[in-house]
Amino acid sequence: PLILVLNGPNLNLLGMREPDIYGHGTLDDLETLCAEVAEGAGLSIDFRQSNHEGELITWVQEARQSAAGLIINPAGYSHTSVALMDALKTLDIPIVEVHLSNIHQREAFRHHSYVSHAATGVICGLGFAGYRLALLALSEILEEDEQ
């Protein structure tokens, strides 16, 4: 099964961007980790990043045809994008929302995520491990669905 892994704005700067919050690992490191975990779990991944809300929405729409599950770190759009939430709500595949940082420990404007309204589950505050755990959760959900 194919898992689409979407990363929102500014995550292309991982490693350089506020490393005290987001760590020193780069987006390439994160993709490598996800590919390894996916392989171990019998999943394949399509790993993408965009700084554009509309592009993320188009990719979510395309997932209807191609993906068995979706992982999304919507970054800043978590807190602003009704349109991204609406797109996610059209999917009938499991969706895990991931944030590297613990958004509930940060500024009040990060405490609400529109995307959470559409997500099956949410992981935050665990850094790169959040993506690993999201892949493992999806693998379990998809296995249960098969039975």
Contacts to ligand DQA by CB under 6 A: 10, 73, 75-76, 78, 99-101, 103, 110
Annotated catalytic residue 99? yes
Given the residues 22, 77, 114, 131, the one annotated as active site: 22
Q: Quick check: helix, strand or coil at residue 39?
A: helix
Q: What count of other Cβ atoms lies within 10 Å of the Cβ of residue 137?
A: 17
* Closest to ligand DQA by CB, 1 or 12: 12
Distance, CA of 94 to CA of 68 (rounded, Å): 8
Active site residue 114: no
Residues in contact with 50: Cβ distance below 8 Å, sequence separation at least 6, in sequence order: 6, 7, 8, 9, 56, 59
Residue 56 vs 75, nearer CB to ligand DQA: 75
Residue ranges of the annotated binding site are: 73, 79, 86, 100-101, 110
Active-site positions read 22, 99
